[in-house]
Chain A
């Protein structure tokens, strides 16, 4: 059973910078896992933010960026806005058309 682990919760001040990470129970996350990041606000469907480690969708605000950090996938928010308060999920690809979501990180902007 593959487990993808994210920080359960993080708090950041408005205008600050925060990094969320995504680890795999199978070992170091690489670009081959095609890390995707999604934002979900209460009562809404998830919204795609980052794909294939560090690529932004056309609608992704510039303050969001993706990377690989210390064997994990990472999502960094720079210049955090109050509207960034949400749940964030990573999604990793394990080959054979098989994907696993992380447990999600609840980001509080305070």
Chain B
């Protein structure tokens, strides 16, 4: 069965960077892309970016361009999301979600459990 297991909660100081991992299992890692989504406390979902593990091509939302980097390690079926120059507004739960494309279009199906990142001095 498809599983996405994320790394544990993080506490960071303003200006620091955070690296969240998402380990995939139960499917061919390079056959699906991976998206990153975040949710600030009491707020909605925000799409951050994605990576195609087959080749490593990335795409980022304008709000995060230049501050986020998504990478992958095909040997361990793991995707990483690094967010730099953290501020208190980056306090949120960060999710990875598997994305696919077929004859019907693009979609996301399985999600990780979420990783809480707290930015506080």
The smallest beta-carbon distance between A52 and chain B, in angstroms, is: 4
- Whether A99 pairs with B111 at a CB distance below 8 angstroms is no
Q: Which residues of A contact B61 (CB under 8 A)?
A: 98-100
Return the contact of A47 from the options B62, B106, B111 (Cβ within 8 A): B111
- Whether B111 pairs with A48 at a CB distance below 8 angstroms is yes
What separation, in Å, do the CA atoms of A1 and B61 have in the docked complex? 10
What separation, in Å, do the CA atoms of A32 and B106 have in the docked complex? 9
Residue A81, interface by CB 8 Å: no
What separation, in Å, do the CA atoms of A103 and B33 have in the docked complex? 24
Stretch at the interface among B8-16, B24-32, B40-48, B79-87: B40-48
Return the contact of B109 from the options A31, A40, A57, A103 (Cβ within 8 A): A57
Residue A97, interface by CB 8 Å: yes
Q: Which residues of B contact A32 (CB under 8 A)?
A: 105
Interface residues of A in 49-82 (CB under 8 A from B): 51-53, 55, 57
Q: Which residues of B contact A93 (CB under 8 A)?
A: 105-106
- Whether A51 pairs with B104 at a CB distance below 8 angstroms is yes
Report the tally of A-B residue pairs with Cβ distances under 8 A: 74
What separation, in Å, do the CA atoms of A48 and B113 have in the docked complex? 13
Q: Known: A52-B107, A97-B59. Contact between A45 and B95, CB under 8 A?
A: yes
Interface residues of A in 30-46 (CB under 8 A from B): 31-32, 34, 36, 38, 40, 45-46
- Whether A96 pairs with B107 at a CB distance below 8 angstroms is no
- Whether A104 pairs with B45 at a CB distance below 8 angstroms is yes
- Whether A51 pairs with B50 at a CB distance below 8 angstroms is no
- Whether B50 pairs with A97 at a CB distance below 8 angstroms is yes
Which A residues contact B (CB, under 8 angstroms)?
1, 31-32, 34, 36, 38, 40, 45-48, 51-53, 55, 57, 87, 89, 91, 93, 96-104
